Structure 1
Amino acid sequence: MHNAVSLAKKLIEEAHSPDGYNIGINCGAAAGQTVLHFHCHVIPRYAGGMNNPRGGVRDVIPNKGKY
């Protein structure tokens, strides 16, 4: 998994030059999993992209926090 995430980051960096990333995996319905197979989110983040990035992946897409 580390190699897959590293490759995803490399490809994203070549095209978009983000300042950081959130890496997310939801395991089980209680954790918010809605797609019932393994998948990992590699989310590029940019300085100033959120008022307070301390929430991590919560509310990563503005105005979409309540799915």
Structure 2
Amino acid sequence: MTACPFCTLPQERIKRQNDLGLVIRDGYPISPGHTLIIPKRHIASFFQLQKQEHDALLQLVEEAKLDLDEEFKPDAYNIGINDGPIAGQTVPHLHIHLIPRYQGDQDDPRGGVRWIIPEKAKYWTA
């Protein structure tokens, strides 16, 4: 059994933190500035968060967004959680993706997160 990569992060990867969570850049970013917000407690699901953890992580999402606005100046954001293996979760430690988006990074960005099931993404053409 291997150690959880989010429970054994080197200090230099941590961009910001509070008592219950931390912020890092994604190791395999899909856009410049792709960021992860992670609870310090090892849990797999968003639905296992305690109220204090939930609030602390959402506060970090807001703070990380301000940091990204300043450093990368994106035009928009996607925020997502892969909660469970069937939803695509590959690291069984909850992490929230904060993905900066840039004008022109996709020809047609409409549908956003709906593209996880491509045949259902273009609902506006149905």
Deviation per CA, 1:22-41: give whole Å up to 9, x if none.
00100011100000001011
For 1:12, which of 51, 68, 78 is the aligned residue? 68
Larger radius of gyration: 2
Q: Does 1:50 align with 2:101?
A: no
Higher relative contact order (CA 8 A, sep 6+): 1
Structure 1, unmatched stretches of 5+, are: 60-67
Q: Which residue in 2 is equivalent to 1:64?
A: none
Q: CA RMSD in A?
A: 1.6
> What TM-score results when the alignment is normalised by the length of structure 2?
0.43
In structure 2, the partner of 1:37 is: 93
Alpha-carbon distance between aligned partners in 1 of 2:98 and 2:105, rounded to the nearest angstrom: 16
Letter in 1 for 2:72: H
In the alignment, structure 1 residue 2 sits paired with structure 2 residue 58? yes
Offset at residue 47 of structure 1 (A): 1.3
Structure with greater proportional strand content: 2
Q: Percent identity?
A: 53
Give every structure 1 segment of 4 or more consecutive aligned residues whose post-TM-superposition deviation is greater than 6 Å.
Answer: none
How many pairs are equivalent?
A: 59
Further displaced range: 46-55 or 36-45:
46-55
Structure 2, unaligned stretches of length 5 or more?
1-56, 117-126
Tell me the TM-score normalised to structure 1 length. Answer: 0.77
Q: What one-letter code is carried by the residue in structure 2 that aligns with 1:37?
A: H
Q: Which of 77, 81, 84 pairs up with 1:21?
A: 77
CA distance in structure 2 between the partners assigned to 1:16 and 1:40 by the alignment: 19
